[in-house]
Amino acid sequence: MTSFDADTALEDVSPGVFEGRVDPAWRIVRGANGGHIAAIVLRSMVLSIDEERMPRSLTVHFARVPKEAPFRVQTAVERSGRTMSTLTARLVQEDKLIAFGVAAFSLPRTGPEFTELFMPEVQAPEDLEPVADREDFPFGRHFDVRRALGPLTPSPDNPAETGVWIRLREPRALDHLLVTQLMDAWAPSIFVKLGEGGGGAGVPTIDMTYHYREALPLDGAKPDDWYLGVFRTHTARGGFIEEDGWLWSRDGKLVAQSRQLALLAR
């Protein structure tokens, strides 16, 4: 079992109710990384639904900074139709709401297919230097990361775009839980424009939505495969920014998309 699986593990205490603990190893600045909390929320939903139905979307609202302490998650199947189900989940600590999630699950479906999105051309991860660990940032030690897009020196003239090859250091097959984590495991793209912290006190996420575009695991995928995450911010207004993300398999398959709203704190 990887540390990711151990630290997102949940104990089933009653129907639709689970307990776990936020581990300090996933701390970023003030508390656990949002992608880590979102993965826990998604795991509670996966445990509450027919395993043939896979997640297609997940939105998580982050109400409070999580403590490195026990938590409880309560899920509800709000509706389950012939092919689609809607679930919600509330993660609480000390009777206070930490995160609230809503997700759509579905059976496999077919329909017309096209794409106007294509993976950017970047150097192979083997040709790039790994991002060095930081002693004050235990969260980063879970990942092998190689910068693939974006400048190294922040400047207001830079487009707010970054891209990294990323994978867990402990080999693990990609599933929807790991996708949820990987899409929120790199520094916000606004940092390349305004500097670390967004030029202020940080960029805490208000809400984040994931759209899962592929059945997982991918055919032929290996536990040590690399995935390319690309992230862009287009607008800062009124103290808020958005960030769009795309996660690609190495052969150019779009695995997932994300969008988050975040505070640009001063």
pLDDT digits (tens, 9 = 90+) for 65-100: 999 999 999 999 999 999 999 999 999 999 999 999
Give the whole-angstrom CA distance, residue 19 versus residue 10. 5
CA distance 206 to 262: 5
- In degrees and rounded to multiples of 5, residue 261 shows phi and psi of -105, 130
Assign 77 to helix, strand or coil. Answer: strand
Question: Does position 201 have pLDDT exceeding 80, yes or no?
Answer: no
Structural domains of the chain, ranges and CATH numbers in brackets: 1-107 (3.10.129.10), 116-266 (2.40.160.210)
Q: Distance between CA atoms of 175 and 179, rounded to whole angstroms?
A: 6
Summarize the confidence of residues 147-154 as an average pLDDT: 93
pLDDT at 135: 79
**Parallel, antiparallel, or unpaired: how do β-strands 143-149 and 236-237 relate?**
unpaired
Q: Say if CB 139 and CB 28 are below 8 A apart.
A: yes
H-state helical runs in the chain? 3-7, 34-46, 176-182, 191-194
For residue 161, is pLDDT > 90?
A: yes
How do residues 20-55 score in pLDDT, each as one tens digit? 999 999 988 778 899 999 999 999 999 999 889 999
Portion of the chain with pLDDT greater than 70, in percent: 98
Inform me whether the pLDDT recorded for 147 exceeds 90. yes
pLDDT value at residue 141: 93
Sequence-ordered strand ranges (E) for the chain? 11-14, 17-21, 54-62, 70-80, 84-93, 96-106, 143-149, 161-168, 205-212, 227-232, 236-237, 240-249, 254-263
% of the chain exceeding 90 in pLDDT: 87
- pLDDT at position 134, please? 84
Q: How confident is the model at residue 200 (pLDDT cuts 50, 70, 90)?
A: low
pLDDT band at 199 (very low <50, low <70, confident <90, very high): low
pTM (2 decimals)?
0.95
